[in-house]
Chain A
Amino acid sequence: MSTTTTPPPGVSEQDLARLAEHWGERPSLRGWFSTVDHKKIGRRYLVTAGFFFVLAGLSALVMRTQLARPEAGVVSPQEYNQLFSMHGTAMIFLFATPMLFGFGNFLVPLMIGARDMAFPRLNAFGYWVFLFAGLFMWASLPFGAAPNNGWFAYVPLSGEQHNPGLHMDVYALGLLFLGISTTAASINFIVTALKLRAPGMSLNRVPLFVWAIVATAFMVIFALPALNVDNAMLFLDRRFGTHFFDPSGGGNVLLWQHLFWIFGHPDVYIIVMPALGIVSAVLPAFTRRGVVGYPLIVLSIVSIAIISFGVWVHHMFATGLPQLSYSFFSAASTIITIPSGIQIFAWLATMLLGRLVLRVPLLYVIGFVVTFVLGGFTGAMFALTAFDQQVTDSYFVVAHFHYVLIGGAVFPMLAGIYYWLPKITGRMYHERLGRWAFWLVFAGMHVTFFPMHLYGLFGMPRRVYTYRSEPGWDGWNLVSTVGSYLLAVGLLLVLVGVVHALRRGRPAPPDPWEGDSLEWATASPPEPYNFPVLPRVHSLHPAWDERTAESVRAGATADRILSDGRRTLVTSELDAHPERAVQMPESTLMPLVLAGALLVFFTSMLFAWYPVAAVAALAVAATIAVWLWPSRRPDEELGVSG
């Protein structure tokens, strides 16, 4: 499917052949399992996260069917509780973050002009762990042993005494397992973006999407340990009788909530921030100009990343903490809306000054602005403790965060899918099909979730498997259910569109949109080595910059082709000044083996086969030793030109 590349001037056929040989894999099963190519791994993240999205979405449809009318018996309460728990857990952990990391994996090296991620094998490892951890959790559902205590898993209900069986062990171990993947990917993003940027891409020329991914990665690294500690303590309490959360043994039930939300609130931004980055990446192509206020947006990204760590208590406004702490966290939660406001108005200004090209990606961006702004209003309302105490844990909050997460993350993702589909697959999508899908998704989303504001205000609590008809909630619930089916049909059409593009789509040129960032300066789909000549960057919009194109033509010296091995350029953190050429690792099965050993470890912990777990732990250690055994060629200092 890949378009054959004609060598740019200054690059010989032999150079290209050597690059292809160094970076390509044999098309064998072994090659498929051992690849460390960031583009393939990115695609796998997108497909796998999409698969988990379908499962979580189907869970939601069953729930909405059950809630369509009062006292329905579509599922039992126990089944319903597993469904809503898996829906939330999967949407947050197995869909939203991995999907955005999939975009990041595919795009970050391309956008910064590198040949791969900084740690390609770690990258492959992260994907396998994500896949195995996701299957580990979903596999529990058919056995009726899925997590059944919400994605928030509050103690004491999630403790052994009130929740025997495997349910919450699956949750605790699954998230600990998955956390390995998220952490590995985050470290990789940070190092890649700091060290592998093309010469000339100083920090003030880094694409906003990359800024967003890096800020997100930092947030993951600081937030995730709180969740890991929480889950480790939960598992110890459940399995080994410790008392971290047991008040009768000196523990504290609010400890769980504090740690969970110290992770959980930044996590909301961990999901939304890369999505906002997608909006900033998509807009220039469809407004024909750069996004307004680059420095303001960077500032806003960084301040969101910082302030998001000071707002967790607003999830605990009904727990009866002292009023003084409420007023502090209320202030922080109020003020965090401002950076988002800056971005919204920067995008509006971009649209007001540019020329709108109303293709499907821009439709989703507009749908995003409308929906995300509404979700933002209710978010600011929740920052006020008195109001929060009234509507938290009601359907009003369900409405709020679906506006934020579907409006703020799913719409941008869909914009990104349509925008980058030609780059990822080398095929164009069907415009009319895309429009139909958009209007169904947009209408379905609002019909489903807008009424939830209402019946939340009317006193309907969330997480209930059924309700009586007397309180008068039935009409609006039926509307929501109808909306959810519309939304499902729309999303199905998106999927049809992707399949259609893959089967029937017209081959895509390298740059169908006249995009502004470097991924458009290479073939669609890109060759395994990304760029025949590593580009030199002169501005914020390198693909629009004649000098970058010129540098590719004129500057095709050996130090920018690097065809004598699997090599890429390392540059300095601030100015992206070339430092040396590094040897990148070859394809290997080790990531898959290590992830497999970890799967055996976590599975045997789940079933309390401790001797097997011990053996698996040894296997993990041995695999790591083999993996890290020094074998690389020393890096080569470069006398880089200019």
Chain B
Amino acid sequence: MEKTADPTVSAARYARRRALPRRLPVLTTLCGLLLLAGCAGDAPSALNPGGAGATRVAGLWWLLFWISVAVFAEVMALLVWALVFRRGNARVRHGQPLRFVTIAGAGLPFVILVAVYGVGLRDLAALGDGPGPDAPTVEVTGHKWWWEVRYQGASGATANEIHIPVGERVKVRLRTDDVLHSFWVPQLMPKTDLIAGETRETWLRAERAGSYRGQCAEYCGTQHAHMAFLVVAQPRTDFDAWLARLDAPAREPRTDAERRGQQAFVQGTCAACHAVRGTGAAGRVGPDLSNVGSRWSLGAGAVPNDAGHLGGWIANTQTVKPGNAMPPQPVDAAQLPDLIAYLRSLE
């Protein structure tokens, strides 16, 4: 407990408190290191861009980052100066350095902000500079909680996976079937919201082949966490081949198990909600499953796409992704392996 109410404390205690100014620079250095260390890793990082839009924004970020570091250093220097030299016996000065406050607090920031605003405006214009009318167009519809993907000029559909040709600007037309969602591929393009009752447009351009993770960024309810997708950038010929397969009927079953699985699928409850091209199943409520075997995940990024997870998913999706629209299925144990075999064969 304090002994006196007098806020001036003894010289010895002041000396001990000198530790503070030495601690502050350590703290800031640490923060900087954390930031740099973070650039590595396998995250779908906006700082590791793979496409034109995200590259622009990453450039803007580094500009802003270094300006912030410089200004922060200035503020910290003033603070440390005050802590080191303005304690103990420091004589209080009663001036009103209005010029200092105006220049450091308003003048300099104004100049910096106007310049940065100019750069920001240029980058905004660049992001708005979409592809021409002949560009390939993919139509993406947001659902609670998955992405329906269709291509203009193609009849087939897929889900949670968007294929694009490398090095080309692809137009993305965004709609939502229910609530708001937001389309975000950090390594390729900033967000565009999907607005109920309206259509929005954005575009993607990947500079190198590969897979880029995207995710819904606007809170959309119970399973907002599991509404991821993948953008697969591939050479033009591979893309064309992929797109051609999207129009063709799904692969026919080859084994007896697959055939039994197909029969169970088409005649059972599955077909009420799901479609498989070239069969009687034409449901539009859930994702089109014509190429489900080749997809990177189940449940829009909820679990890996392998036989075990698929079985669990069919039996009861609610344990995997609680709240999604697919009720637990009354599949009998004998049918389940056949269904798994059939769905795994759809590539």
Contact = CB atoms under 8 A, between A and B. Distances in A.
B86 A458 contact: no
A392 B78 contact: no
B128 interface: yes
Given A296-B101, A472-B42, 17 more contacts: A154-B219, A162-B221, A289-B94, A293-B96, A320-B192, A320-B195, A349-B101, A351-B86, A353-B86, A354-B92, A355-B88, A356-B86, A358-B87, A386-B120, A454-B34, A455-B43, A462-B219
Interface stretch (A73-81, A127-135, A209-217, A220-228): A73-81
Contact of B301 (A81, A288, A468): A468
Interface stretch (A26-34, A40-48, A330-338): A330-338
Interface stretch (B52-60, B148-156, B158-166, B264-272): B52-60
Nearest to A150: B219
A354 to B, nearest CB: 5
B57 A386 contact: yes
A386 B190 contact: yes
Interface string A436-462: 000000000010001101110111111
A525 to B, nearest CB: 15
Interface stretch (B67-75, B240-248, B275-283): B67-75
A295 to B, nearest CB: 8
A565 B104 CA distance: 52
Interface of A: 76-78, 81, 149-150, 154, 156-157, 162-163, 247-248, 252-254, 285-289, 292-293, 296, 318-320, 323, 326-327, 330-331, 334-335, 337-338, 341-346, 348-349, 351-359, 366, 369-370, 373-374, 377, 380-381, 383-387, 389-394, 428, 430-431, 446, 450-451, 453-455, 457-468, 470-473, 476, 504-506, 508-509, 512-514
Nearest to B127: A386
A348 B101 CA distance: 9
B120 A387 contact: yes
Most chain A CB inside 10 Å of its own CB: which residue of B54, B82, B182, B221: B82
5 pairs of A and B residues whose beta carbons are closest in the complex: A247-B197, A345-B105, A384-B120, A389-B190, A458-B43
B78 A348 contact: yes
A430 B1 CA distance: 5
B110 A338 contact: yes
B101 A390 contact: no
B87 A459 contact: no
Nearest to A293: B101
B197 A248 contact: yes
A473 B17 CA distance: 38
Given A342-B106, A390-B46, A381 B196 contact: no
Nearest to B222: A77
A326 B81 CA distance: 40
B98 A296 contact: yes
Contact of B79 (A335, A343, A370, A454): A370
B45 A458 contact: yes
A373 B24 CA distance: 14
Interface in B29-62: 31, 34-35, 38, 41-47, 54, 56-57, 60-61
A331 B117 contact: yes
Given A320-B192, A387-B64, A458 B2 contact: no
A358 B78 CA distance: 16
Contact of A380 (B113, B200, B219): B113
Contact of B105 (A254, A286, A342, A453): A342
Contact of B195 (A319, A431, A454): A319
Contacts of B330: none
B194 to A, nearest CB: 9
Given A352-B78, A459-B215, A464 B224 contact: yes
B314 interface: no
Nearest to A157: B179
A98 B8 CA distance: 33
Interface string B178-220: 1110101011001111011110110000000000010111111
Interface string B136-155: 00000000100000000000
A292 B97 contact: yes
B257 interface: no
A366 B218 CA distance: 36
Nearest to B180: A154
A253 B195 contact: yes
A157 B180 contact: yes
A152 to B, nearest CB: 8
B117 A386 contact: no
Nearest to B114: A334
A537 to B, nearest CB: 20
Contacts of B225: 77, 464-467
Contacts of B106: 338, 341-342
22 contacts: A77-B323, A292-B97, A320-B193, A320-B201, A334-B116, A338-B110, A345-B101, A353-B93, A353-B94, A355-B86, A359-B7, A370-B24, A380-B64, A385-B124, A386-B57, A386-B190, A389-B127, A390-B54, A431-B2, A458-B41, A461-B184, A468-B301
